[in-house]
Amino acid sequence: MTRFRQLTIEERYHIQFHFELGLSLRQIAKALNRAASTISRELRRNRQSPCKYWAPMAQDKADDRRKNADKQRITDAWLIEQVHYYLTQYQWSPEQISGYLARMHSVTVSHEWIYQYLLRDKAQGGELYKHLRHKVRKTRRRYGSQDRRGRIIGRVGIEQRPDVVDTRQRLGDWEADSVQGKRLATLVTLVERKTGLSRIRKVMRSTAELTASAMIDAFSGMVVKSTTSDNGKEFSHHHKVSQAMGCSFFFARPYHSWERGTNENTNGLIRQYFPKGTAFEDVTDEEIQRVEDKLNHRPRKRYGFQTPLEMLEAEKLKLGVAVNS
């Protein structure tokens, strides 16, 4: 097995030289006989600006990081308390806990150390690991099988969706899906693409009429410019949602779940609280609201460990400035 070697100051000078020449990551990596991912990580961590990389300063930053590594172990009582609290009460991942503590308390503990702490706790008979999110089994793609769910009248495919939706640059583009229960009751889940805000509603049966009504209720007070769902028949009353909210409605390609990746990921988080086999008839609206609140207060890595609610407030402020000006 190849062991990772820390970059030397000489290699960093080579990186600086090639970076200033405008060489690509792969070209720099080839010149140093290093992996392109190593060069990418080095520039991401240690360059001074998007266009400037200075070897001596990069070396200082790397040295400081290594010097403080031992100080980031979980031995402090307050830190242990924080890990226990956010893991057991909110089911945050170690990476989310690490990012949140760094942003709110300037505490730089590595998420890897949190994982190691949880493994040690498990080895000693502890149950903290049970609060970690478990991977959801991937759905097997059915090659050559016929879609028996029927055709949706007025269906507009995702290929006709405006390109701006893909960029996540505007507020109001949503993804929709449903989470099936043990019996007839189902959860209708909605996620806003830019902020990650989640809305969850229960329907007693997964019918098109009830699903459309649940979506309209969930969208109340929200900015809605477009919605993208899968091809389930429960979304066949999409025109009612479009008319009520004044938005466009698009459908992903069959078996292309990655085209609604934000919603698929959120459904995985929801399954952390309501595992497969849950009968949603037995779950109250208050319990569902608590899960929605937890998701919307959960820090997200791609937002710099801000929460969806914080992102939404920031977007509202931007819109307010734009309107007032």
Q: Is the pLDDT of residue 323 over 80?
A: no
Element holding 177 (H helix, E strand): strand 173-180
Cβ 111 vs Cβ 73: under 8 Å: no
Provide the pLDDT for residue 246: 95
pLDDT (tens digit per residue) in 92-124: 989 999 999 888 888 888 888 888 888 888 888
CA distance 142 to 134: 24
CA dihedral 47, 50, 51, 56 (to 10 degrees): -10
Q: Is the pLDDT of residue 35 over 70?
A: yes
Any bridge partners for residue 157, and if so which? 251
For the whole model, what pTM was predicted? 0.60
Mean pLDDT of 244-259: 89
Structure tokens at 45: 């961590």
Any bridge partners for residue 173, and if so which? 226
Residues found in the chain = 325
